[in-house]
Amino acid sequence: MIVVDNGSTDDSLECLERVIPSKKLSLLRNHQNLGFAVACNIGARVSSASHLLFLNPDGVLTEHGLARMIEVLDSSPTIGMVGGFLCNPDGSEQAGGRRSFPTPQRAFLRAFGLSRLARFFPEAFSDFLQHAEPLPSQPAAVEAISGACMLVKRAAINDVGLWDEGYFLHCEDLDWCMRFAQRGWKVMFVPDAKVVHVRGACGRNRPLFVEWHKHHGMLRFYRKFYHHQYPGLLWGLVVAGVWMRFIMVASYHGIRYALVRMGMGRA
């Protein structure tokens, strides 16, 4: 087991060392938060395994989940990456575990609630999140899975390359899935491999920090893969739309924080 720590300040590493024997644990400490992609690459370079599991610290694989994911990954030479059924602690499916690529058009439709019309006009108003759709009865090919839990073939990594370290937080998993697709590798969703994702406290304690990097990541993703589809003024509208969304989200968090300070809301 390889654990890459991005400058944590609590006693989690000490607890880990007490629980897991040193022979089974390789602990790599970064003195500061270098970002999710950088940390994943540090671990990937150290490992020599043929299969690599990237798992968030707030993710828990249930019994037989990993074995099932390995089984699916090895079922075809064209499958390069698999993800499990990402769920909340109450068992409900979590958004983002299986999804389509969030093109600027799809993101616009979702931001303004128009993706709800997909039930009537699926081709015109399709959503990029698929957790509301019926759960497949067997492993299914999807465009993207969540970076919270990814099992990847080393051969695919050698072909595609490591994570893009230009992302700090958010969208780096979408970037990797896109590059896998461009190289002809399949990404699979495994519905019977359950992964409980508790979600970290960072988003709650530092919402503006998270949203800032999320929107930077969105723009990087769009610039890399969709800029050519939105020339001139259209690209300017995409950029403006991303930052307008950030302003709206930041304003919401600012107002919420002010209400909490005044005793009129909950943290």
Give me the CATH number covering residue 62: 3.90.550.60
Q: Does 243 or 68 have the greater pLDDT score?
A: 68
Closest Cα to residue 156, out of 242, 226, 78, 100? Answer: 78
- How far is C-alpha 211 from the geometric centre of its chain's CA atoms? 14
Is the pLDDT score of 6 beyond 70? yes
Domain count, the chain: 2
Is the pLDDT score of 140 beyond 90? yes
Reading the block at residue 237, the tokens are 């509208």
Which segments of 89-171 are extended strands (E)? 98-99, 140-141, 144-145, 149-153
Q: How far are the Cα atoms of 20, 178, 219 from residue 235, in angstroms, in the given order?
A: 50, 20, 10
Look-up of token digits 């940390």:
39
Q: What is the mean pLDDT of residues 107-120?
A: 66
Say yes or no: 117 and 227 in one domain.
Answer: no
Residue 14 lies in a domain: no
Say yes or no: 100 and 205 in one domain.
Answer: no
pLDDT of residue 234: 86
- How far is C-alpha 124 from the geometric centre of its chain's CA atoms? 25
Residue 35 lies in a domain: no
Q: Please give the Cα distance from 229 to 203 (Å, whole number).
A: 32
Q: Does 12 or 175 have the greater pLDDT score?
A: 175
pLDDT of residue 106: 79
Domain boundary among 198, 232, 259: 198
Say yes or no: 254 and 174 in one domain.
Answer: no
**Encoded amino acid at 45, one letter:** R
pTM, rounded to two decimals: 0.86
Is the pLDDT score of 153 beyond 60? yes
Say yes or no: 109 and 169 in one domain.
Answer: yes
Residue 5 lies in a domain: no
Domain that includes residue 184, residue range: 50-198
Domain boundary among 138, 173, 198: 198
Domain boundary among 198, 231, 253: 198
Rounded CA Rg of the chain: 19
CA-CA-CA-CA torsion sign (211, 205, 53, 35): positive
Say yes or no: 216 and 145 in one domain.
Answer: no
Q: How far are the Cα atoms of 118, 206, 215 from residue 257, in angstroms, in the given order?
A: 35, 11, 20
Q: What is the mean pLDDT of residues 144-161?
A: 98
